[in-house]
Amino acid sequence: MRPEHWLFTIPLRVRSFFSKAQADAELDDELRDHLDRVTDGYVEKGMAAGEARRRARLDMGGVEKVKEECRDARRVNWMQDLAQDFRYSARMLRKSPGFSAAAVLTLALAIGSCTSIFSVVNAVLLRQLPYKDSDRLVLLWGTGGYSGNRDQISFTDLQDWRRGSQSFEEMANFHSFVYTVTEQGESQRVRALQVSNGYFRVMQAAPLIGRFFVPQDFEPGGQPVVILSYDFWQTKYGGDPRAVGKAITLNTHPFVIIGVARRELPALPNSVIFRPPSQIYTPVVEDYSAENRTARHLRGIGLLKPGVSLSRAQAELNVLVGELQKRFPNEDGGRGARLVNIKDDLVRNVRSTLIILQFAVFMVLLIACANVANLLLARSNSRQREIAIRGALGASRMRLARQALTESTLLALIGGSLGVLLAYWSVGFLTRLGTDVLPELRGVSIDLPTLLFATLTSLFTGVVFGTAPALHFSPIDLAGALKSGTRGIGPSSSQLRMRSLLIAAEVGISVVLLVSAGLLLRSFVLLQQVKPGFDPDHVAMTFVYPPRLKGASIAQQQAFFNGLLARIARLAGIESAGIVSSVPDSGDFDTIGINLRGRPFPSGQRPMPDRYVVSPGYFATLHIPLRAGRLFNDADDLAHPRVIAVNELLAAQLFPGQDPVGQEIQIPTPDFTDETRPYWRIVGVVGDVVQYGLASHKTMQIYVPYSQYECETSNLVFRTSGDPLQLASALRAELQRIDSTLIAPEFAPMDEVVAGSIVEQRFSTTLLMIFATGGLLLAATGIYGVISYLVVQRTPEFGTRVALGATPLNILALVVRQGMRPALLGAIAGLGACVPGTRIIGHILFKTNRLDPLTFVAAAVVLLGSALLACYLPARRATRVDPMVALRYE
Amino acid sequence: MTKPSDLVQGTLDMLLLKILALEPMNGFAVSQRLKQVSGDILQVSDGSLYPALHKLEQGGWITAEWKTSEYGRRAKYYSLTRLGQRQLDKEADNWGRLSSAISRVIKLKEA
């Protein structure tokens, strides 16, 4: 149609749609006028009035039919039909509240869980990070070292890359750090981000007041300076601009505040630094030097130039790193660099979990669809007469199918709206369950994209479960349907096939869910059975490190901790207590490169065991077993030979076939250069401790007594006879009396610390179990519904059979077979689908075969058992059919 | 009963447009005129007249307004629009070519 055409037609369409009644009235008038005139004409020719009117009507044909044709000419009928269909559907749903409630509730649960998982996916995977040009922000990790592909890098590494690379606008080092701020005798721990020059250019940030760092701020020996985050400035200085220029005491050193960052400069995400977000910024004071080349304790971040792809920058860096490896074979041998977009790095662990969960809820949704489709099918059957009547009145097959689809869509939309409400509620639950895994969950909300998703899902489900009944919503045998009794006619064979197919599909999908959940559960149980190498029950930890120990001598340090431990040991309820520099499984760690006497390693290839600086009582407190030699005692001080203990793994790997006790190891020690480093004698071998979470591999470990080695940080671990947290307030008070600058903010029970190392697995396992259970229940109720319905339908037939001599067992077998055959087929298909399907969870499984036969069998047994029960209950009703009652039923 | 078999598809629309091109008139008058001009050869029932008129109206080729008729009753009067005039010209043209082509064919057969 040409545009000018629309000038005429659009107003007409609008008018016919909105003033339907008026248009109809005018049509009536017009036709009546015509009939009157024709009648008048016949009367003038001498016909009787009645006869004339009859002739006029005959000339016209059917008046109602002409009207309908004229209405059709208006062409907006489909819109009016839709409105009418919706009204009609609403009426039908109101008329059978039981059915409607069951369908709406099923859909609400399924759409609700789908929507809430999507809200997480949206917030975590799809939404942009709050950084400027975050698609160009990349993290620079080292490779080939301790952690494989997320190694820390050195200042020198980054400077070399920065000079040689053309792909970056800027790159910078950063590193998280904790300072103790002291002010008028009160101290507070503050998280800091130490950054190299260029960090603020990478983040494309400008200061709110004052200035950011300049090159002079990074020179060793200069005036220490600090930049405040907006939040810290607000809470600590009440947003006073005069804060700039003031001094602040960090770790007993005076720093000058030179600037305040804007509110729009967010902290780096939690995966990159430790939580909570950085409150202040200080400079990384290091110089470019040969010995700093291997001081890999920093991280890197860069801003790519616009239009430069990650792969191009990576290729350039690879060439650069290759040259460095040749130039510094000892320091850089085997060391690479890896670029990751900051977003990809953030979601690296959770992406697959979330995709799996989204997939799982989608499966639950499909099962729900199958259930509602079944309900609708059953209903369309008992509505045969109504449909037949509508067909007889001239409704086309298309029109009836459309009506069926409108009904299902209406159901889905109501279910969807309820589902959104449910999602609002469940997002709170998800947030509580998963904040440790995904700190970003705090930002999850039901926003516009999520609502859009819910709407589309509802419409999609409406079409999916509406199609099956729509196909059957056609008057095949009008006369038969009209003549049959009020009960409606029995299900046709094609409908039976459709139902069996739906049962099979439900069971199949449910099997896939059950197998996945079963595998995850098995893996999680195995994870929980992992022995951490120590006994975490009745043990708690807390951070104790008074700022004044910084720079103190080892003797002063020993005196302080000895006094502290002695006083704590006197508290009622304390069984033992110890000091350790980093607590296993807490996320904290220290590693060092070591050398063996007589077997020096090149500097890049030294073994990197975990290093713990401990008090003698540490082993007893954590129940770490002694395997050979002896533990530390108070005599192991600076006046005596230097001693260490190692774990079994280190002993086995570095001293195979030898007695590790008495061997000597060189470890980096402050106040000594590479050449003059002393050797430490191994006096004891202790059990392996899981350091990086229950799912991690074993690592080599070295223990150094705190009476011989400087401790930069320290934690108190203590074992109690009862609940360790009950002693918290007494302990806190005692610590305050020992040293007023000691603040022990929180006591963490060790069993929670250990459990905390597998929160991610717990999160995905819990959710998948919930979905699998939901899917199983839905599938079982679905089967139950179908079989119950069929039993009612076939009651007269059963009556006949019983009358002809069928035993209750025959009837039972008949009914059960009808439900179990498709269930069995579905289970087989589902297990088959699991063979390639479990590949998507394969890599998050812990020591569990993704084709674990036991899990497969268990899933099949649980499912077929539920299906059998779901068939048995209605089947038992069928056996109680009284033939006389059944036969009179008609 | 509906469309006369001998009335070529689409011809009714053209006839109606032609009749309304002469002067605006109501549905009854159109039916009378149709019978009159075609000399009862074209059997157009009243039943198919009105839907056809409504279709033309919705298509924008004719427009309608309510007027008081000569009988003193309110009646719906149809008249041709600019678009309808153009459509009529086009269809008349097509018809002319079609009918002359057909008559040439018919004459050929007779010769």
Distance between A12 CA and the closest CA of chain B, angstroms: 7
Contact A275, A349 (CB under 8 A): no
**pLDDT at position A680:** 92
Are residues A66 and B58, on separate chains, in Cβ contact within 8 Å?
Answer: no
Are residues A29 and B74, on separate chains, in Cβ contact within 8 Å?
Answer: yes
Closest CB to B75 among A33, A38, A66:
A33
Query: Which position has the token pair 């009035």?
Result: A49
Better-predicted residue by pLDDT, B4 or A158: A158
Closest CB to B51 among A37, A38, A73:
A73
Among A667, A705, A633, A98, which residue's Cα sits nearest to residue A378? A98
Interface test with B, best of A2, A14, A26, A70 (most B CBs within 10 A): A70
A65 to A78, A234, A323, A858: CA distances (angstroms): 18, 78, 89, 64
Distance between B42 CA and the closest CA of chain A, angstroms: 15
Q: What's the mean pLDDT in B79-87?
A: 87
A-chain residues within 8 Å CB-CB of B51? Answer: 66, 69-70, 72-73
**pLDDT at position A270:** 53
**CATH number for the domain that contains residue B75:** 1.10.10.10
Q: What is the pTM of this model?
A: 0.68
Q: Counting Cβ atoms within 10 Å, is residue A674 exposed (0-12), middle (13-18) or buried (19+)?
A: exposed
Tell me whether A13 touches chain B (CB under 8 Å): yes
Closest CB to B50 among A13, A31, A75:
A31
Distance between B31 CA and the closest CA of chain A, angstroms: 9
Q: Could you tell me if residue B62 is inside a domain?
A: yes
Q: Could you tell me if residue B97 is inside a domain?
A: yes
Lowest mean pLDDT among A35-39, A273-277, B61-65, B74-78: A273-277
Structural domain tally of chain B? 1
Closest CB to A66 among B50, B60, B69:
B50
A185 in the Ramachandran plot: left (φ > 0), alpha (ψ -120 to 50) or beta? left
Residues of A592-603 as b/e, b for ≥16 C-beta within 10 angstroms? ebbbbeeeeeeb
Q: Could you tell me if residue B100 is inside a domain?
A: yes
- Report the relative pairing of strands A679-686 and A643-647 from DSSP bridges: parallel
B-chain residues within 8 Å CB-CB of A12? Answer: 57-58, 60
Closest CB to A34 among B2, B46, B48:
B46
Query: Which position has the token pair 């774990």?
Result: A647
Are residues B27 and A30, on separate chains, in Cβ contact within 8 Å?
Answer: yes
Tell me whether A54 touches chain B (CB under 8 Å): no
Are residues A5 and B83, on separate chains, in Cβ contact within 8 Å?
Answer: yes
Closest CB to B58 among A12, A31, A61:
A12
**pLDDT at position A477:** 56
CB neighbours of A417 closer than 8 A, spacing ≥ 6? A458
Are residues A73 and B54, on separate chains, in Cβ contact within 8 Å?
Answer: yes
B-chain residues within 8 Å CB-CB of A24? Answer: none
Q: How confident is the model at residue B6 (pLDDT cuts 50, 70, 90)?
A: very low
Prior bond of A276 cis (ω within 30°): yes
Tell me whether A29 touches chain B (CB under 8 Å): yes
Q: How confident is the model at residue B53 (pLDDT cuts 50, 70, 90)?
A: confident
Closest CB to B58 among A26, A38, A75:
A75
Closest CB to A66 among B28, B51, B60:
B51
Query: Which position has the token pair 């500097």?
Result: A603
**pLDDT at position A76:** 57
**pLDDT at position B2:** 41
Output the six-digit token pair for A55: 């002739």
Looking at the predicted structure, is the pLDDT value of residue B3 above 50? no
Are residues B60 and A5, on separate chains, in Cβ contact within 8 Å?
Answer: yes
Are residues A30 and B75, on separate chains, in Cβ contact within 8 Å?
Answer: yes
CB neighbours of A512 closer than 8 A, spacing ≥ 6? A363, A830, A833, A834, A837
Are residues B83 and A4, on separate chains, in Cβ contact within 8 Å?
Answer: yes
Could you report the per-residue pLDDT of B29-44, keeping only the tens digit for each? 888 888 777 666 666 7
**pLDDT at position A407:** 86
**pLDDT at position A10:** 66
**pLDDT at position B41:** 66
> Chains A and B: how many Cβ contacts under 8 Å?
77
Rounded Cα distance between A816 and A826, Å, is: 15
Cα maximum dimension of chain A: 142
B-chain residues within 8 Å CB-CB of A4? Answer: 83
Q: Could you tell me if residue B5 is inside a domain?
A: no
Are residues A33 and B83, on separate chains, in Cβ contact within 8 Å?
Answer: no
Q: Residue B22 is part of which domain span? A: 11-110
Q: Spell out, as residue ranges, where chain A has pLDDT lower than 50.
A: 1, 273-275, 485-489
**pLDDT at position A829:** 94
Rounded Cα distance between A71 and A819, Å, is: 49
Give one DSSP letter per residue of A588-639, joined into a string: ---B---EETTBPPPGGG----EEEEE-TTHHHHHTPPEEEE----TT-STT
B-chain residues within 8 Å CB-CB of A31? Answer: 50
A-chain residues within 8 Å CB-CB of B75? Answer: 30, 33
**pLDDT at position A77:** 57
Rounded Cα distance between A694 and A528, Å, is: 8
Interface test with A, best of B26, B36, B46 (most A CBs within 10 A): B46
Are residues A61 and B58, on separate chains, in Cβ contact within 8 Å?
Answer: no
Are residues A61 and B46, on separate chains, in Cβ contact within 8 Å?
Answer: yes
CB neighbours of A218 closer than 8 A, spacing ≥ 6? A196, A197, A283, A284, A285
A-chain residues within 8 Å CB-CB of B57? Answer: 12, 73
Sign of the CA dihedral A381, A385, A387, A392? Answer: positive
Domain boundaries, chain A: 3-75, 78-131+349-490, 152-334, 494-531+751-890, 545-743
A-chain residues within 8 Å CB-CB of B2? Answer: 61
Rounded Cα distance between A868 and A707, Å, is: 69
Are residues B1 and A61, on separate chains, in Cβ contact within 8 Å?
Answer: yes
Helix (H, G, I), strand (E, B) or coil at A247: strand
Q: Could you tell me if residue B3 is inside a domain?
A: no
Interface test with A, best of B35, B54, B71, B87 (most A CBs within 10 A): B54
Residues 64-83 of A with CB under 8 A from B: 65-66, 69-70, 72-75
| CA gyration radius, chain B | 16
